[in-house]
């Protein structure tokens, strides 16, 4: 069966985390100032991409300890969120340097941030298409009668996962009305969905129509994001 796909959404998020060694003396001030600065022990950078655009740094979360007057026994865990679009004047120089360099998540950090060790680099991407055509997915529940109306998908949402920039197709969810073969969907047609998990070990693709296998085979990997 011939189908056509029209892109309706493409959104991705990426998280890069670093731990900071004790030799790297980095901190951020706290407001109100009567609270001791945050001694940063790790940072978590969050990026987004829309419609295939290059990664954009959205926020930097600083994690660490407050030690009032340097008294370690009174230290308590805390965190602060910082945003690249906010004014630079209230941030320490090391944090501005980190934001400048890490605007590209794949760029190496400068030598004066040598105490930073990357401990996480993971991403999720969701791409949704509108489907046009008369392709069907038969009902799959074992109690359904052979004459039960199939699913006529009118959209599909592809979910991708990545570790260290190695992408894989994690799930594909088809949505649409239940429509008898040869019939047109009415305005109040009941709708349903059918998920597939191409990389799972559960064999969810067993019995999938050939057009589904072909579509997933052509979208095993997402399109490349734009370069920085």
Tell me how far apart the alpha carbons of residues 153 and 129 are, in angstroms, rounded to a whole number.
11
Q: Which residues pair with 76 in a beta bridge?
A: 66
Distance CA 201, CA 220 (A): 16
Please, are residues 92 and 71 in contact by the beta-carbon 8 Å criterion?
no
Please check whether residue 221 is in contact with residue 198, taking contact to mean a CB–CB distance below 8 angstroms: no
DSSP state at residue 64:
E
DSSP 216: H
pLDDT at 189: 87
pLDDT for 13: 98
Give the whole-angstrom CA distance, residue 4 versus residue 57. 34
Q: Would you kindly state where each structural domain of the chain is located, as residue ranges?
A: 3-11+124-218, 13-121
Strand pairing category for 76-82 and 116-133: unpaired
Q: What is the pLDDT along the chain (228 residues), one digit of tens a residue?
A: 568 999 999 999 999 999 998 777 788 887 666 777 888 999 999 999 999 999 999 999 999 987 655 555 556 788 999 999 888 888 899 999 999 999 999 998 888 788 899 999 999 999 999 999 889 998 876 555 556 789 999 999 999 999 988 999 999 999 999 998 888 888 888 999 999 999 886 678 888 999 999 999 999 999 999 988
3-state secondary structure of 69: helix
Separation between Cα atoms, residue 211 and residue 151, nearest integer Å: 13
Residue owning tokens 């260290």: 164
Q: How far is CA 36 from the centre of its chain?
A: 34
CA–CA–CA angle 162, 166, 168 (5° rounding) = 60
CA-to-CA distance for 182 and 132, rounded, in angstroms?
Answer: 15
Burial class (CB in 10 A: 0-12, 13-18, 19+), 98: buried
How far from 92 is each of 98, 112, 168, CA to CA, in Å? Answer: 10, 14, 38
- pLDDT in the model for residue 71: 54
Cβ–Cβ under 8 Å, residues 161 and 167? yes
CA atoms of 42 and 157, how far apart (whole Å): 34
pLDDT of residue 145: 57
Query: What are the angstrom distances between the C-alpha of 225 and each of 8, 52, 84?
Result: 16, 5, 21
* Cβ proximity of 184 and 200 under 8 Å: no
**pLDDT computed for residue 24 by the predictor:** 75
Which of 165, 145, 141 shows the shortest CA–CA distance to 47? 165
> Given this model, what pLDDT does residue 147 score?
62
């Amino acid at each position: 069966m011939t189908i056509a796909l029209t892109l309706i959404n493409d959104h991705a998020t990426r998280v890069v985390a670093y731990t900071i060694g004790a030799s790297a003396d980095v901190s951020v001030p706290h407001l109100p100032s009567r609270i001791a600065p945050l001694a940063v022990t790790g940072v978590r950078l969050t990026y987004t991409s829309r419609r295939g655009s290059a990664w954009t740094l959205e926020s930097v979360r600083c994690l660490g300890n407050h030690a009032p007057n340097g008294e370690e026994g009174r230290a308590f865990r805390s965190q602060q969120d910082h945003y690249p679009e906010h004014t630079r004047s209230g941030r320490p120089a090391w944090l501005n340097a980190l934001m400048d360099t890490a605007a590209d998540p794949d760029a190496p950090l400068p030598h004066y941030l040598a105490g930073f060790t990357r401990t996480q680099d993971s991403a999720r991407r969701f791409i949704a298409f509108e489907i046009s055509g008369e392709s069907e997915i038969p009902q799959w529940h074992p109690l359904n009668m052979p004459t039960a109306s199939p699913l006529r998908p009118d959209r599909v949402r592809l979910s991708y996962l990545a570790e260290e920039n190695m992408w894989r197709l994690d799930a594909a969810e088809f949505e649409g009305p239940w429509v008898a073969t040869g019939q047109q969907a009415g305005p109040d047609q009941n709708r349903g969905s059918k998920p597939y998990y191409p990389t799972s070990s559960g064999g969810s693709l067993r019995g999938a129509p050939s057009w589904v296998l072909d579509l997933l085979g052509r979208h095993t990997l997402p399109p490349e994001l734009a370069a920085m």
